[in-house]
Chains A and B, each alone.
Chain A
């Protein structure tokens, strides 16, 4: 029965023509780019490359990717969901390179990763074998506009996440003003691939969960510290002194002891 709503997106139901057109025009740009004027234009474009571009699975780090991608469009052609596009002039993305906007069409995480298979240069890493290991970006939540963070029972992102409970988990908190719990989604960067299915599915007017390149948003705690409740490292039972202990500083020259400057100079 045909309904009023769009049929489900299925991998053997895609329309190739639009993609072919985009691809050809982008290839045309790449070919023309050997000429002087356009070449410099393109170089400028690359120099201003938008670090927010979301790349196909297995893409090398942005600089290496831009250096390795030959803009052939094979990955775009291989994607069964029409997810990928090649950047065109006017976008803040190097012309001819593949990217996607998850809110339009996310990466559906094909187990056989056809885009990567199609890549002739390794710009999409050939050794990516499990799509769950890809890192296209990182989902981040706008807590102020996320319905679940306000207490509504939404959590669409969590239920739609192909790596539910690994990439997006739910934490429950009491809601202070009534006898209802809050179910707040939390993204776990160790598992989030940046596929963007959450961003696509988010039912708010503007997505309250979005995929961005991890380096734009992800912090890092100091190497010198470990979160005690997250990593269990029990007290070492048999302590082995280091072989290469620092030598005692008996032979320090008089007058060069650390701290003397501070102790001896200045007034109170």
Chain B
């Protein structure tokens, strides 16, 4: 680019003026293109990394990505990227990119104890089919599984889910998004009856208060952080609060930094609620019209195993708490019980049930959460004075309650990866709903997402063990019926029993209840807490693990068969970000060697199974559902024959290459000359990504989840659209009559989600009237109490341990660590600790130290300065680095409702190596 500094200044001013009147920036900044770049071809795409969903542009030449840029017209990022996004063009070109299937072999045959050797796709699928049939034959549909992803494209998630749920009749498909968003999902469903946020990113520019609850946006949502910071710079009264368990990068711009003890966010939320009640600040107009009060059981366990059969000795004391807990002083006050009381965790299996309570009950419940009680309980920095901390809590409550002040709460993993993740999400809605600060521009509780398509794929497509597309669930007979109709399946094909969530898939591998697992677009053996157990289970048991990945990851190393996958710009796809924006891209470059898209892998594998393989009677231990014989899925082959299927029809034809889908022809003008290696590899002339998207979209159209036609997303003037897209218009704020076509005419608000609307009546102790009342169009204001973390520092393991991200690396680092510049910038994960804690252990920064928990020990380099500022008694370790395996020592406790792992709190000791 030859552009002088003065030209740049001029174009900046011009662009600024243009932006003010709504002209696309790209039309203003017309820099002179160098001769060498004249044959570069640019196309729009999406950033591969986080849930923000920045638009990018890709330049290709001779089948390679030669450059990328932030898309100046993308409303999310306006041409900017973070330092990961800056390297989108390089993630494809790591030196150890996998280009052919690799299988563990001895003497030319598969051997679980053998060494990896290259095989053909046919050999790979032959062994995979054999092993799948073995597990399926022995254990039925519950014995096979897919570990999916919040980084699946929409189409990848859809084909994987349809293959499992409609074909195999197994609900054992669950994404890594379980580790990421499940608590947010459970709270959305319980509170609103429908998933995903009501607002959008423009809330940032409309609000005057942003409260971060366990969201280090400065590092984990970098471009949104630019918007929040800009709001702060340009709006003098904008206030920013950072609630965290340690001083992170987001504190730098904050007006108020509140460092609290793990799990006490539950208490802080109730303190705010109590203040709202005591200051008579409830917005009764809003609450009476649009809300009901509710609560649920407290004795719900911690999502751990309820048996010590597999626990190592050191793990047994914590595991025992899954069954019974002795209440500590604070819990006793918070739950109006007696300290020292032993509470059997009787509702561990029914953690999600809830019932309506009265406002008086709600008032009684929040009454113990006084400023004195909550401040004493929650102050997280031993060096801060209690009085200073109280002033901060009070300031937070003041800003919440100020009726002149708009307020947005943002959160991610601090709330979601939480032993009471669903509760703490619901508490956030509690305060926003009490104040009527929800579903309006600048007002709302906004759950940020972690992964690029956790919303668009994992949640909307429903690649979870309990879900179907468009917020439907397998346990609901009407949802199964509608899905069977759309999928043209015989009645009772879909399995009504919720499958194994991702943590349970790991436990099932250990138990021998699952013997086939196919890992797609994620790295679960590095990312799942208490990893030693699962790696051992995978390697030592009689199971078969397939790992589809572009790179040799920890999970690939653990697997028996590795399938080389195409990466983002090597295939057609769609992602949906945190503000319900669906964005699509074309295949830009071909995948290397024999690497293939995940869509192709599932479609090709499905050709190997027929109707009679899956649709006969199947054993399903534990199945109990209306209309089903206990423990069995019925034979539907006869019904299938009536629908025109032959028992010998293969699943590819039944599920994917249907008559309707094969009419969607490839080539298609929307491609504008771009290739589709999936079609070529299939040897077909239909367009799977388009046909399957349209098929999937039918689930949501007219059902509050409307997506636009496929081709619309590829228009040059479209930069993604926020669903529901009704009559060609996106929906910026849901549940708000001014913006949302699904709100009945004349209504200001309607929380119209349909799930879990009918609930029984009760009080704080339980259900008093089991008859259910439907609260149509209403949201629930939940009371949820403080509960102590199941594992806390003690004399032996004397430090809190927390894992998380850094800006420079994505998740387990499998892509970003292969970008030399990012690897150089942050080559290894270091353990952050308070300098006084290091000193008292005779350690200093840069020492190599052991970090040991009940579950194992790992080595890391100690850091007491720099990026994170730890309070005494608390350490933080990023999880991107497989050389410093953070999740080996993390505890696999989960929220009992959402089943999402709490990666943010367990106990460790640290000593010099």
Q: List the interface of chain A (C-beta within 8 A of B).
A: 1, 3-12, 108-112, 144, 147, 151-156, 159-165, 170, 172-183, 200-205
Contact = CB atoms under 8 A, between A and B. Distances in A.
Contact of A7 (B86, B94, B225, B883): B883
A160 B79 contact: no
Nearest to A81: B846
A180 B230 contact: yes
Contacts of B885: 1
Interface in B54-85: 70, 77-83, 85
Interface in B181-197: none
Nearest to B869: A164
B226 A154 contact: no
Contact of A112 (B19, B230, B844): B844
B902 interface: no
A10 B230 contact: no
B867 A159 contact: yes
Contacts of B204: 179
Given A111-B846, A180-B80, 19 more contacts: A1-B885, A3-B882, A5-B823, A7-B883, A8-B829, A11-B848, A110-B846, A152-B80, A152-B85, A153-B80, A159-B249, A159-B807, A165-B252, A178-B79, A178-B80, A179-B227, A179-B231, A203-B87, A204-B821
A134 B85 CA distance: 35
Contacts of B821: 203-205
A178 B78 contact: yes
A163 B866 CA distance: 6
Given A12-B848, A160-B866, A177-B15, A4 B95 contact: yes
11 contacts: A4-B551, A8-B828, A111-B846, A144-B5, A159-B807, A176-B12, A180-B77, A180-B78, A181-B227, A181-B229, A201-B825
A170 to B, nearest CB: 7
Contact of A164 (B226, B847, B866): B866
A153 B82 contact: yes
A164 B249 CA distance: 10
Interface string B807-845: 110000100011001111111110000000000000011
B342 interface: no
B883 A176 contact: no
A160 B230 contact: no
B827 A6 contact: yes
Given A153-B226, A183-B229, A162 B865 contact: yes
A155 B82 CA distance: 9
A104 to B, nearest CB: 11
B867 A5 contact: no
Contacts of B823: 5-6
Nearest to A161: B866
Interface of B: 5, 12-13, 15-16, 19, 25, 70, 77-83, 85-87, 94-96, 204-205, 219, 222-223, 225-227, 229-234, 249, 252-253, 551-552, 554, 557, 806-808, 813, 817-818, 821-829, 844-848, 861, 863, 865-867, 881-885
A151 B85 CA distance: 13
A182 B225 CA distance: 10
Contact of A5 (B222, B807, B818, B861): B818
- Grouping DSSP codes into helix (H, G, I), strand (E, B) and loop, the A interface class, with mixed when no group exceeds half, is loop
A246 to B, nearest CB: 50
A172 B82 contact: no
Contacts of B253: 172
A40 B665 CA distance: 82
Nearest to B551: A4
A39 B70 CA distance: 58
A180 B78 CA distance: 8
Contacts of B557: 1
A174 B234 contact: yes
Given A161-B866, A181-B233, A203 B846 contact: no
A153 B229 contact: no
* 6 smallest beta-carbon distances between A and B, as pairs: A8-B828, A178-B78, A153-B222, A181-B229, A180-B226, A153-B82
Contacts of A175: 80, 226, 230
Given A154-B83, A164-B867, A200-B824, A178 B25 contact: yes
Contacts of B219: 159
B233 A153 contact: no
B738 to A, nearest CB: 22
A180 B86 contact: no
Nearest to A165: B252
Contact of B845 (A4, A111, A152): A111
A174 B230 contact: yes
Given A5-B817, A162-B866, A202-B825, A152 B81 contact: yes
B844 A8 contact: no
Contact of B884 (A8, A161, A172): A8
A200 B552 CA distance: 27
B48 to A, nearest CB: 16
Given A153-B223, A176-B12, A178-B78, A170 B252 contact: yes
A153 B848 contact: no
B826 A153 contact: no
B86 A203 contact: yes
B819 to A, nearest CB: 8
Contact of A203 (B5, B19, B822, B867): B822
Contact of A181 (B83, B226, B828, B884): B226
Contacts of A200: 824
Contacts of A110: 846
B25 A177 contact: yes
A138 B710 CA distance: 54
A259 B96 CA distance: 81
A18 B327 CA distance: 61
A84 to B, nearest CB: 16
Contacts of A176: 12-13, 15-16
A164 B865 contact: yes
A180 B822 contact: no
A160 B82 contact: no
Contacts of A203: 83, 86-87, 808, 821-822, 824-825
A180 B223 contact: yes
Most chain-B CB neighbours within 10 Å: which of A108, A144, A180, A204? A180
Given A153-B83, A154-B86, A201 B16 contact: no
Most chain-B CB neighbours within 10 Å: which of A3, A8, A164, A175? A3
Given A3-B817, A152-B80, A172-B253, A178 B19 contact: yes
Given A111-B845, A153-B807, A163-B865, A172 B229 contact: yes
Contacts of A160: 825-826, 866-867
Contacts of B16: 176-177
A196 to B, nearest CB: 13
Contacts of B82: 152-154
Contact of B827 (A9, A152, A173, A178): A9
Contacts of A152: 70, 80-83, 85-86
A147 B865 CA distance: 24
B883 A156 contact: no
Nearest to A173: B233
A101 to B, nearest CB: 14
A97 B79 CA distance: 47
Contact of B552 (A4, A9, A11, A204): A4
Nearest to A132: B865
A4 B94 contact: yes
A142 to B, nearest CB: 13
B248 to A, nearest CB: 10
B825 A156 contact: yes
A81 to B, nearest CB: 9
A156 B16 CA distance: 27
B654 to A, nearest CB: 40
B398 to A, nearest CB: 25
A180 B824 CA distance: 27
A181 B223 CA distance: 9
B866 A172 contact: no
A109 B12 CA distance: 41
A11 B551 CA distance: 29
